[in-house]
């Protein structure tokens, strides 16, 4: 049947994942760095995810697709909830100054290196932090060199899947980018890094 359904422009999509938690049917997932529809029957075509893509990569189109199936969606969501609750890594503390480089929760982790002001300003911070181990700090009032040294230890001791750096638009805050870059240089590791600048109004801009 031909019906309305979400379409994702893969050239525009940057894989930030902000659309994923805003699809209550669970139809979207980030796969190989791009947002994709898990299954056509999970997408109702109403477009609740449209306004949550900072790149404008999501639109609604008309194409051949299987009909939306509410029963399938409910079964899929129930399975996801059970899976995520059993796999959730418990983390404490979250401050860079306090965290131990040997902490087990860093193994096979996606790390969110974030400025301490950002969670207050950033829209949907909990969505951004979902599935990541958080390291929070301020490079202006704390020693960025000490941050880099500790982050290097974390990278040396663990297999890190990805790093997301989130910082405010003020110049001093970009020191977190330096922390990540310095740690990667010192360890020689090749890890996917995404950098996001948070504007005062809460919007984010990706820097490559």
Query: What's the pLDDT tens digit per position in 168-177?
Result: 999 889 899 9
Comparing C-alpha atoms, which of 19, 101, 112 is closest to residue 59? 19
pLDDT at 39 over 60: yes
Q: pLDDT tens digits for 101-126?
A: 999 899 999 999 999 999 998 877 88
Whole-number pLDDT of residue 130: 83
Domains and CATH numbers, the chain: 2-86 (3.30.70.20), 104-207 (3.40.50)
Residue 166 parent element (H or E)? strand 160-168
Phi-psi region of 61 (alpha: psi -120 to 50; beta: other; left: phi over 0): beta
CB atoms within 10 A of CB 168: 22
pLDDT of residue 2 exceeding 70, the answer is yes
Kindly report, residue by residue over 40-75, the tens digit of the pLDDT. 999 999 888 888 788 899 999 999 999 999 898 888
Over residues 159-184, mean pLDDT: 93
Angle between helices 144-157 and 175-187 (to 10 degrees): 40
pLDDT of residue 34 exceeding 70, the answer is yes
At 169 the pLDDT is: 92
Identify the pLDDT of residue 88: 52
């Amino acid at each position: 049947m031909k019906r309305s359904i979400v379409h994702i422009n893969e050239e525009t999509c940057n894989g930030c994942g902000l659309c994923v938690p805003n699809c209550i049917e669970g139809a979207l997932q980030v796969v190989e760095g791009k947002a994709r529809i898990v299954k056509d029957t999970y997408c109702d075509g109403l477009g609740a995810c449209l306004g949550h893509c900072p790149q404008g990569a999501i639109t609604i189109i008309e194409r051949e697709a299987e009909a939306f199936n509410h029963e399938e969606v409910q079964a899929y969501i129930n399975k996801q909830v059970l899976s995520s609750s059993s796999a959730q890594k418990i983390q404490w503390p979250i401050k860079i100054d306090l965290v131990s480089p040997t902490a087990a929760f860093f193994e096979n982790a996606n790390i969110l290196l974030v400025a301490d002001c950002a969670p207050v300003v950033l829209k949907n911070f909990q969505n951004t932090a979902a599935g990541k181990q958080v390291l929070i700090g301020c490079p202006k009032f704390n020693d960025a060199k000490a941050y880099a040294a500790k982050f290097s230890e974390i990278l040396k001791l663990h297999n890190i899947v990805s790093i997301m750096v989130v910082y405010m638009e003020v110049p001093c805050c970009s020191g977190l980018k330096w922390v990540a870059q310095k740690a990667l240089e010192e360890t020689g590791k090749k890890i996917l890094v995404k950098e996001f600048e948070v504007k005062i109004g809460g919007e984010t801009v990706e820097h490559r």
